[in-house]
Chains A and B, each alone.
Chain A
């Protein structure tokens, strides 16, 4: 299968996500598509897989120009895409999810479904419990299921969007083996969209690099990482030396904490975060690290054990009470959990800051708001609505809303979806906080971030917490093994 992209353009308002992209893909090969956040990778792949149409330009398959009105149509022509967050139906069971859109027969044929699933899963040695509901599967299993569905649907050309984010080392190996098998034995074309250079080096034969909506280079891999980084960023970003810190008194202590939920029970959590320390929680999504964070924020309850803040027992305190006690919490979903779409920056500031006045002094609030905007480098005006800001600016605003002096900051995915500059800025802010004695506990699915930014690390797997690692001496491999549940 020979696919050619000719002069693909896609604009979102003033942003040129794809600005005249030309590419050729041959069958039987594995390509890596690289680029930093916002370079236009996702947009290009969404266009190729039929999820959205380009503004102009064409897709040519084996000499025939094609137009897709939906991903299903693209799959009909042999192009399938595996999304980072698999596009399945969490409430369905495995077989229903597999059968949705499978064919036009009215009555569902579970027997065929089972046979087809068995055949493909055994070919790639996937293990999927066919009785399960999708929402009870791990991310890796959901990916395997989607991949199975795409292959049965006739995909000759597979796009994998950040497929290794949040899956175990074991599942990653399985995935890479199946990718090689698909390309080298079955002649399929694979595109790996990733920002992880090592994976591209390991798996691909050729890397294509996007920057600011344009193709900036193609190069055979393996090659040196520096070469790729230079093309991706234009210049090699200087990663600062790990700043020195002074360990202070324990701020947050968890003793034998147990958090039962319907899906997962987290048990035996013992950890201490000291003043001025940055503590990272790694693990697959839903392995329990988020529950621990939320328990510290007073958003879920532990039924056993003790949580204390600077020596004071805070077990079962409410979120609002913990806030006044000096805990700041920033959740992952900015517009879902943190900012209110439709409220202005000033209104956010008035709401979030401690105040007991009945009437609002709008004039002084406006001034404070202007000051914060400058201080936190938010691109916006006091009267800008939160939903008008870009993701990076929303995150800056959230940091601007944190109270002045905090004992502890809890963060979920502090830099998810942000470009390098914004991420570095966020971490500068956090370093400044820790220098003034704030303890920081964060979770992230980005292993590099966990290892580069933390002082100590705990890894979660299936509700269990690993031994605590020293970030200076650990490696990605070690953390990866623990994520997969190996000791």
Chain B
């Protein structure tokens, strides 16, 4: 049995669709980490945002109010991380980790009266003309507004980071804060700003699940996705485009797992569930080892620089550090 073309297109379209919230979260965390702060609370803040978004949209019957509320929640969690590490000079990891657990429990408690109720969702609409392109069209341009926003977000984040003055400032703060300060960049102001913006995107990602991809709310609704997003940020080398590809790859393995399950029902479902986690370890192992470095060194001299630019992954140098303005 081989996949027919329409089956292939449907599968690809669904991979793009289910990966969308992850891509948003990855973009948000990339912005935050580029400024030098790790917001480890993703798993908890996405759960809180998913719950809040769903409850607000359900009660107000306005889906956009739901998204807005979710973004505020994500921004608030991120603000706690920023405030705790910048102003109070405490460990970002510790705060993020506690917030992860707190978000999980708090969402379960606050959302207890809304579990397993059907709720509002985003409507799908194809983009005229673009959706007519063979294969590409139905995969990418027959989705919903949030997916289209995600395309824009990935491109815009990339453009902002690498082609604008504010983006330079943002990156300089994560790379070498004292040099950034000497150039007139308010280091901690930048860090607050981008941690909170990144957090708002993480919140949006949470609501993108509960209002679009996995509609509804239940305890631990999307537990684990935040951690996967954090791992994809590393895999993506802190670049939104590579990060988006990483998220799609992750979505693809999930699709592959369910496809394989339908093909080989005799193999336990367990084996397939393990795939994403095994993939996560394998990928981080590839990124962390000197494997890529060796590949670069094997290439001819002239190719080394572009290869290095594409393959090499180095975190922002000041990631996780604090900066005290005198």
Contact = CB atoms under 8 A, between A and B. Distances in A.
- Do A and B have CB atoms closer than 8 angstroms in the complex? yes
A88 interface: yes
Nearest to B325: A70
Interface in A100-128: 100-108
Interface in A57-105: 70-73, 75, 87-92, 96, 99-105
B182 A72 contact: yes
B89 to A, nearest CB: 15
30 contacts: A51-B326, A52-B326, A53-B326, A70-B182, A71-B183, A72-B184, A87-B176, A87-B179, A87-B183, A89-B171, A89-B179, A89-B180, A90-B175, A91-B171, A91-B175, A92-B171, A92-B172, A100-B180, A100-B185, A101-B169, A101-B180, A104-B165, A106-B164, A106-B165, A106-B166, A107-B163, A107-B165, A108-B164, A260-B297, A262-B293
Contacts of B76: none
Interface in B282-326: 293, 296-297, 314, 316-317, 326
Q: Which of A73, A88, A99 has the most CB of B within 10 A?
A: A88
10 A-B pairs with the lowest CB-CB distances in the bound complex, closest first: A72-B184, A101-B183, A71-B182, A87-B179, A52-B326, A87-B182, A100-B168, A91-B175, A89-B175, A89-B176
Q: Which of B168, B169, B185, B314 has the most CB of A within 10 A?
A: B168
A89 B326 CA distance: 20
Interface residues on A, range: 20 to 34
Interface in B152-205: 163-166, 168-169, 171-172, 175-176, 178-185
A473 to B, nearest CB: 40
Given A100-B168, A101-B169, A106-B166, A71 B175 contact: no
Contact of A90 (B181, B317, B326): B317
Q: Which of B171, B184, B296 has the most CB of A within 10 A?
A: B184
A9 to B, nearest CB: 15
A51 B183 CA distance: 10
The prevalent SS among residues of A at the interface is: loop
B184 A70 contact: yes
Contact of B183 (A53, A72, A105, A107): A72
Contact of B165 (A70, A90, A91, A99): A99
A99 B168 contact: yes
Contacts, number: 77
A22 to B, nearest CB: 23
Interface residues of B, number: 25
A71 B176 contact: no
Nearest to A83: B182
Contacts of A92: 168, 171-172, 175
Q: Which of A53, A91, A102, A104 has the most CB of B within 10 A?
A: A91
Interface in A250-264: 260, 262
Contacts of A107: 163-165
Contacts of A104: 165
Contact of B172 (A100, A103, A108, A262): A100
Contacts of B183: 71-72, 87, 100-101
Nearest to A52: B326
A225 to B, nearest CB: 34
Nearest to A132: B305
B178 A105 contact: no
Contacts of B180: 89, 100-101
Contacts of B297: 260, 262
A108 B163 contact: yes
Contact of A87 (B163, B168, B178, B317): B178
Given A99-B165, A106-B164, 12 more contacts: A53-B326, A73-B184, A87-B179, A87-B183, A89-B175, A89-B176, A90-B176, A91-B175, A100-B169, A107-B165, A108-B165, A260-B297
Nearest to B164: A106
A103 B169 CA distance: 11
Contacts of A101: 168-169, 180, 183-185
A73 B185 CA distance: 11
A75 B314 CA distance: 32
A53 to B, nearest CB: 7
Contacts of B316: 91
Nearest to A50: B182
A105 B164 CA distance: 8
A105 B168 contact: no
A47 B326 CA distance: 11
A71 B181 contact: yes
A67 to B, nearest CB: 14
